[in-house]
Amino acid sequence: MTDALFLFDPQVDDVPVNSDELHAGWKLTLPAHIKRHAVQAMRLKAGDSLQLSDGNGLRIQAVMADPEAGLAEVVEVGREPEQLTRLALIQALAKTGHDEQAIDMATQIGVDQVVPWQADRSIAKWKVGRTDKKWNSVLDAATEQSRRAFKPQLEACASSKEVVAICRRACVHGDVVIVLHQDATDTWSGVEEKVAQLVERTLQDGRPRTVSVVVGPEGGISEQEVADFVKAGAVSCVLGHNILRAATAGPVALSLLSRVLGRYE
């Protein structure tokens, strides 16, 4: 079984990740919230293995040395490289937690960036200091569950005009923005061809690029929004014959894209 992974925040938790002393054999004191989760909830005992990460590529392999004191002995320290071709999910706010379900599954799949979107037809509203904490909590839990060393970057909530700006920037930088729309005429196979070309360019010049997926709320993306996004350079396509929920469409598209990007081998 894969060792449990626990996220910590270097700016809040007292874990000396930048110290030269952090090497095999070094003992560190687990932050209180990690100790509580590891010892009380997951019942880790002395000698049990665990992983720690700052959510920014650092992966620390450790062994529980003293559960009562919350001491863990470092076995191995490494930092993983970022993906050269990044996946982003521009997820419209949706009611009854469908947006949170979407970002949970997307994190498990491997999304690198999450952009909340206040779409024209979004019933739910973004509340700074409340909704962002809730989404961050979902991303934390999904990152730990999937044993990722990188937590998806959560951006500020975007308006439809700001999504248009994202589409325009994508054209300038050679990125691809995919708008999932049930009435689109372009099919997914055409999208995969564009993404494959992006991957080829990235391999040739080594420049990082992003493939973004735009998913609307329960009522769908308005015709005006789709028109504005496409005019700004996005690609609108239909994802199969079935109409998927707001919680499902993004993760399905990201799974298919992960295969094109070679993440599923």
pLDDT tens, 216-250?
A: 998 889 999 999 999 999 999 988 888 889 999 99
- Region 147-173 average pLDDT: 97
Q: In the chain, what percentage of residues exceed pLDDT 70?
A: 95
Fold of the domain spanning 5-79: Ribosomal Protein L25; Chain P (2.40.240)
Q: What is the mean pLDDT of the chain?
A: 92
The pLDDT of residue 187 is 86
The pLDDT of residue 15 is 66
pLDDT tens, 43-81?
A: 999 999 999 999 999 999 999 999 998 899 999 988 999
Could you write out the DSSP letters of every residue in the chain?
A: -PPPEEE--TTTS---TT-TT-STT-EEEPPHHHHIIIIIIS---TT-EEEEE-SBSEEEEEEEEETTTTEEEEEEEEEPPPPSEEEEEEEE--GGGHHHHHHHHHHHHT--EEEEE--TT--S---TTTHHHHHHHHHHHHHHHTT-SBPPEEPPPB-HHHHHHHHHHHHHHT-EEEEE-TT--SBHHHHHHHHHHHHHHHHHH---EEEEEEE--TT---HHHHHHHHHTT-EEEB-SSSPPPTTTHHHHHHHHHHHHTT---
* CATH architecture of the domain with range 85-261: 3-Layer(aba) Sandwich (3.40)
pLDDT tens, 105-146?
A: 999 999 999 999 999 999 999 999 999 999 999 999 999 999
Domain boundaries defined on the chain: 5-79, 85-261
pLDDT tens, 153-165?
A: 999 999 999 999 9
